[in-house]
Amino acid sequence: MAYKHSYGAPRRRLKIVPLIIAILAVALVLAGVYFLVGTLGKEDAHAEYEEYNEKNKGYGTVEQFKEESKNFYISVFYPKTDNKNLNKIVTDTYESYINEEKKNKNTKEDVLYMDYSIDRVFKQYVTIKLDFKRIDFENKKTLVHKQELFTFDSKTNKKLTVSDCLRGKYMDLLTSLNASEVTATTNTLKVGTDALTIYTDDKLENNISIKYTDNKDYIKLANKNIPSNAPTNIAAPKQQKEIDPNKKMIAITMDDGPHKTLTQRAMTAFEKYDGRATFFELGNNVVLYPDVVKDVYERGFELASHTKSHSQLTKLSADKLDSEIGDTQNAVFKITGIEPVLVRPPYGAQNDTVKAAFKSYGLTSVLWDIDTLDWKTRNAQKVCDSIVNEAADGKIVLIHDIHETSIAGLELALPILHEKGYQFVTVSTLYQYKGTN
Ligand code: ZN
């Protein structure tokens, strides 16, 4: 009995187990079919967001970022290139689009979809247009549409602005093309093979086109395939170490150069402390010493304008005033590929006419706080004393790099100021940290 009994129990269990297995199996198959059909149905519904336009994708590979959640179906196509900096700009842009849209909650499903076009010319300029949409999935209605177009320069590794592409009195050119809404920092632009295209509205519907061949004197882009006066053999300027905004800084400026030897001697003095300075140069001397000017640029010092021939600008005719400023801009540009953004009028003489002329070249006028009168005393110790005694945080000092005594005085002053905790900066750097006042 015990045997039977003990035998009987497992037998009864044996009957139940297959039944459970069978039920489970059927349930599993049904669930699988249901799941498969469901998924396929959903995939089908999203199919149109799983596609991208194959045209205009001539550079890099097509990548997709995908995410499905309760309220969002995200399908973002973006380009991946061999340039890390560009890739970062692209991913940062679409991630910020997504994050911004996720903040706007919805009850039903919305689709976040992005397609793009990419174009590279002369192996240097990459133009990307990103087209991002938020779509109400059920009603197929576009709720948000954002477009972004920009051009990336793979040589300088930055997004180009109008002031990176155009030079001289380009604001006058833009006005003549009825594009006065375009500013120096506008970056909705495309560098094409024959022309620069600047978009004049957010929807990218209107644009102006500037043909390189017709506007050579306005073109700043440095590429051998683009007609311009830019040199193509210039090294990137040596960057100053990071500035400590909490430490004192002073901008020592030198007028009337460049000088064939003293300008470089001055730079060497600053470099002992990883310092920089601004040189307000005369156009006539720039033409005389192009190698010094190139050196100033490549060593990371600031090239500024002191106009062409040291005339008193307030007494000049409009034409003469224009050439005093314009010729100096042209001379510096031909050597370095950059133009001064700061100008110091000789004798500090300026009026509204002069200021308007500066502005038409994008120039800001800079005077000084501390006048060492170095041209008068011609005594190194006196120059040094003047700098050291009057030095204060945020001040602009004036000396001249055409007198040996001035540079000798500078060499005496720098170690003392360094000891007092000063950082030696260009005027532009000083403005960046302390404002223009
Ligand atoms: Zn001067």
pLDDT tens for the 437 residues of the chain, in order:
334 344 444 445 556 667 667 777 777 776 665 655 555 555 578 999 999 999 999 999 999 999 999 899 999 999 999 999 999 999 999 999 999 999 998 889 999 999 999 999 999 999 999 999 999 999 999 999 999 999 999 999 999 999 999 999 999 999 999 998 999 999 999 999 999 999 999 899 999 999 999 999 999 999 999 999 999 888 889 999 999 999 999 999 999 999 999 999 999 999 999 999 999 999 999 999 999 999 999 999 999 999 999 999 999 999 999 999 999 999 999 999 999 999 999 999 999 999 999 999 999 999 999 999 999 999 999 999 999 999 999 999 999 999 999 999 999 999 999 999 999 999 999 999 998 86
Distance in Å, CA 286 to ligand 1 centroid: 14
pLDDT in the model for residue 44 = 76
Distance in Å, CA 337 to ligand 1 centroid: 24
Full-model pTM: 0.82
**Angle value at C-alpha 210, between 204 and 213, nearest 5 degrees:** 150
Distance in Å, CA 408 to ligand 1 centroid: 19
- Could you tell me which residues come within 8 angstroms of residue 430 by beta carbon, excluding any fewer than 6 positions away? 249, 250, 251, 394, 396
H-helix or E-strand spanning residue 152:
strand 141-153
How far is the CA of 361 from the CAs of 325, 326, 355, in angstroms?
Answer: 8, 8, 10
Distance in Å, CA 314 to ligand 1 centroid: 15
**Angle value at C-alpha 22, between 20 and 25, nearest 5 degrees:** 105
Distance in Å, CA 307 to ligand 1 centroid: 9
Distance in Å, CA 282 to ligand 1 centroid: 8
Distance in Å, CA 271 to ligand 1 centroid: 24
Q: For residues 386 and 210, is the Cβ–Cβ distance under 8 A? A: no
Distance in Å, CA 350 to ligand 1 centroid: 13
Phi/psi region, residue 362 (left: phi>0; alpha: psi -120 to 50; beta: rest), is left
Distance in Å, CA 347 to ligand 1 centroid: 6
Distance in Å, CA 52 to ligand 1 centroid: 61
Distance in Å, CA 255 to ligand 1 centroid: 5
Distance in Å, CA 256 to ligand 1 centroid: 5
N- to C-terminal Cα separation, the chain: 109
How far is the CA of 245 from the CAs of 232, 252, 333, 423, in angstroms?
Answer: 35, 17, 31, 10
Distance in Å, CA 346 to ligand 1 centroid: 5
Distance in Å, CA 241 to ligand 1 centroid: 30
pLDDT in the model for residue 368 = 97
| Tokens describing residue 163 | 């002031």
pLDDT in the model for residue 67 = 96
Distance in Å, CA 414 to ligand 1 centroid: 22
Distance in Å, CA 292 to ligand 1 centroid: 18
Distance CA(44)–CA(389), nearest Å, equals: 79
Distance in Å, CA 221 to ligand 1 centroid: 31
Q: Which one, of 373, 428, 377, lies nearest residue 397 by Cα?
A: 373
Distance in Å, CA 275 to ligand 1 centroid: 23
Distance in Å, CA 311 to ligand 1 centroid: 9
Helix ranges (DSSP H) in 53-104: 84-103
Distance in Å, CA 341 to ligand 1 centroid: 17
Distance in Å, CA 421 to ligand 1 centroid: 29
pLDDT in the model for residue 27 = 73
pLDDT in the model for residue 105 = 82
How far is the CA of 133 from the CAs of 49, 77, 105, 115, 138, in angstroms?
Answer: 11, 12, 15, 9, 15
Distance in Å, CA 359 to ligand 1 centroid: 20
